[in-house]
Structure 1
Amino acid sequence: MLNFFSKNKAVTIQATAFIYEFCRKSKRDSAYKRKYRNIANKLAAFESDRGISILSNSFNSELAEDFICFLQNQNLKHNTIRQLYDGVAYMFRLMGKRGYAVNFSFEEINIDKEESTQVYLMLPELHRLYSLNIRDKNVAKIRDLFLIGCFTGLRFSDYSRIDTANFDGKIIKIKTKKTGVIVQIPANSYVRDIMARYNGNIEYRNSLYNFNCRIKTLCRRAGINDKILVEYTRGHKAVRESKRKYELVGSHVARRSFATNAYLAGIPAARIMLLTGHQSEQSFFKYIRIQKAENAKTLADHPFFK
């Protein structure tokens, strides 16, 4: 039996055993626990490949760099490696808080986030998606939920559980699941029409994976197929490839679309932040995805450029 809450700084613990035990005891949702089990699996594969056993105090800066190299050799994307390493680092910090001996030199290793190609859906694209004739009711529900996200700025965890209890006339009031912040958002005619169609109950109970697969197909059907140049690092190589816009659409594009369209409509950032629940402009502006060509066209008529 693991001494999971040890307070003796001289005591060490096998790292993957700690992470698996942490997941077993965690009260968080299954997605959270699955994330850390995956991290433990990657660390176990690294141990097996190198023929070592990693203890709480043996994961130093040198071993951290070797672990990153191991992940690169698996041909993973840069940001995936960053997420995995950040998760490992969090677990070792937690071991320290639990009283185990930890070599904190791994803190010297930091992986910067690589800017990724992210898209948003413009209002005409959202209208085309809304106008699609969809026979399958379950697929239509996915489209309609996604549109609610696009017109409210809610995260998937919130717009997938919205119902009449969240409405006060034309205002949506909901406590966000991720941050616990209460937001109040005006419901436009699209949102009100969709909710009326389902008698106020449009809760989604299937998997997020299924949702993302379906929404890509629906966006393709709606003709959301502009070519997008995607650049990223995979393994040790820089990759450049052309993708269709619908291939880059997932559940979180809804929130990004809302923030960008509201900003382009001239709503002040501070007011949009009250709707989205963002606490800082720095985090908010990460959601604003104005294409350079679109930006140049908009500014062409600005007095400064005349």
Structure 2
Amino acid sequence: MAQIKFIARGNSNQKEIYLRLSAGRAINIKRKTGYSIDKTLWKFTKASKGANKGKLTEFGEPKQTDAIGKQLKEQLDSLATEINKRYNEATEKGTTINGNWLDEQIRDLQNRTSTEEQDKSDLITYLQYYIEYLPSHIKKNGQRGLSKNTIQKFNNLKNRFADFQKAKRTRFNLADITPDLIAQFDKYLRKNGYSDNYIGTLTKDIKTLGKHARKEGFKVSSQLDYITAVKAETYKVILTLDELEKIKNTTFERDALDNARDWLLIGCFIGQRVSDLLRLTADNVVSKGGLLMLELTQQKTGNKVILPLQDQVQEILQKRSGQFPRKISDQKFNTYIKELCKQAEIKTPTKGTIKQEVKINNKKTFRNVTGVFPKHELITSHICRRSFATNYYGDIPTPLLMSATGHTTENKFLIYIGKSATDQAHQLAEYWAKLSAMNKKETNLKVVKKAN
């Protein structure tokens, strides 16, 4: 009877998976399965007897820690079952069993069941497969599917990389994702007027794609982990509390702008993403312990958030008989808030990025352009969450702000609102100054009491 085991071999962290077929002393052959795996995801088994008993061997199986490992384990088990079946049939016919025979069987089985898998090694083909997979991806919190924005990001990558391939007059495979390829892609994108910020995002996404392919067992470059994305300056545009008051007190003739203004104000006082903000209804308002609370589940993270209803938000709801403003789309919200901020004269010269028509290679197109503009031109729906986080930083404990905005680490939160180490040092100095003043006041009070 034949015995089949799997071996992970290779000098790098990315190991090729071999199938070993043995039957008595006469047959002991190994051939590549076509799958590979990261060393950290392979569970090496220990020898159960002999001089090496208890020591790790090269045999093993994929770890069953995630869906990808389980899927690879199923693929290897299926391959082992089919090879065993063919071995029994071949021995009954008197067929010679050797390395060529095993290699032929593996190739036949893999080609028959995974012509599609081989095609997926084409980078654009795999990108499309990955895009179709994203809605069923299980996140760490157990929620299924990623946001529309995340899926759109990879659609953008697919479009830009397809243009790049067309310009290069070649097609690239997953194994071609190297720092050199990224450098070529970067040069092409800059030549076509794309910003460093956009290029950095595409670079991160293509590296994410390569890592996913590696976990799926596809051959990728050993240089994948050395890819780094260009770091671009980001501009933290917010509406200050004074500007929000100015917007609140502006009269708009158009009902659409009045409606959007209320959404904008609510957003800047609750700090939620637009995908969560514009879904709110009166059903999200609950009473807990005599206080009105806003209760929602964030669409992107799946986290449940409960916030006290601020006076400013309650005032807007009372104006609308307990209802939230009328539903509008993300696109209309973005259009309206630019217009209403213009009418409210939110025009402080502010550095940022806007989309403008430019000429690239003698063709007119739109690209993100960095410069100094009246602030109302830089207003987008994202300003709600960032304004909330920035305006209340230092007044509300940072962990409470993070629980509202959905940031998982303080470092990410501080980067998000643009706070540097110097800013934090100044805030600490202010805290110490206040603490020192309080201590002096208490000392003075004690002296006065002793004099009496």
Shorter-chain TM-score range: 0.7 to 0.9
| Deviation of the 1:106 alpha carbon | 3.3
Return the match for 2:325 from 190, 202, 220.
Answer: 202
8 A Cα contact 2:268 2:384, kept in partner: yes
2:400 corresponds to which residue?
Answer: 271
Instruction: Name the % identity.
Output: 26
2:374 pairs with 1:252: no
User: What pairs with 1:267-306 in structure 2 (closer than 5 Å)?
Assistant: 267-289=396-418
2:121 alignment partner in structure 1: 13
What corresponds to 1:226 in structure 2? 348
For the 8 Å contact 1:158–1:176, the answer to whether it is kept is yes
Higher relative contact order structure (alpha carbons within 8 Å, sequence separation ≥ 6)? 1
Instruction: Extract unaligned runs of 5+ from structure 2.
Output: 1-70, 76-109, 136-144, 355-359, 361-368, 435-452
Please state which structure has a larger fraction of its residues in strand.
2
Aligned residues of 1:173 and 1:182 also touching (Cα < 8 A): yes
Three-state SS of the structure 1 residue aligned to 2:350 is strand
TM-score by length of 2: 0.57
The 2-side partners of 1:25 and 1:183 are apart by 28
Aligned to 2:91: none
**1:261 alignment counterpart:** 391
Q: 1:146 to 1:61 in 2, by over 3 A?
A: same
Q: Sort the Cα spacing of 1:227 and 1:96 in 2 relative to 1 into closer, same or farther, 3 A.
A: same
Matched residue, 2:9: none
Contact 1:278 1:284 in 2 (8 A): yes
Query: Which residue does 2:245 correspond to in 1?
Result: 127
Q: CA deviation at 1:160?
A: 0.8
Instruction: Give distance in 1, aligned partners of 2:170 and 2:276.
Output: 43
Partner deviation per Cα, 1:139-181 (whole Å, 9 max, x = no partner): 3222211111100111111111111221123211211111112
Whichever residue aligns with residue 179 of structure 1, its letter is T
Alpha-carbon distance, 1:82 to partner: 0.6
Which of 181, 186, 196 in structure 1 is aligned with 2:303? 181
Q: Residues of 2 paired with 1:225 and 1:289: CA distance?
A: 21
Residue 216 of structure 1 is matched in structure 2 by 338
What letter corresponds to residue 202 of structure 1 in structure 2? P
Deviation at 1:240, TM superposition (A): 6.6
Matches of 2:318 and 2:126 in 1, distance apart?
49
Question: Given that residues 199 and 230 in structure 2 are in contact (C-alpha distance below 8 angstroms), is that contact kept between their aligned partners in structure 1?
Answer: no
Task: Sort the Cα spacing of 1:131 and 1:290 in 2 relative to 1 into closer, same or farther, 3 A.
Answer: farther
Q: Over aligned residues, Cα RMSD in angstroms? A: 3.2
Q: 2:180 aligns with which of 62, 74, 79?
A: 62
Question: Whose radius of gyration is greater, 1 or 2?
Answer: 2
Report how far residue 54 of structure 1 moved. 0.6
- Which secondary structure state, in structure 1, belongs to the residue aligned with residue 200 of structure 2? helix
Residue identity in the other structure for 1:270: P
TM-score by length of 1: 0.83
| Structure 1 position 258, deviation (Å) | 0.9
Tell me the distance in 2 between the aligned counterparts of 1:21 and 1:231: 33
Count residues in correspondence. Answer: 289
Post-superposition Cα deviations, 1:211-252, rounded to whole Å, max 9, x if no partner, equal: 2222112111111111124499xx9xxx87321112222111
What is the match of residue 163 of structure 2? 45
Taking the aligned partners of 1:47 and 1:240, their CA distance within structure 2 comes to: 28
What are the residue-to-residue correspondences of 1:103-122 with 2, within 5 Å?
A: 103-122=221-240
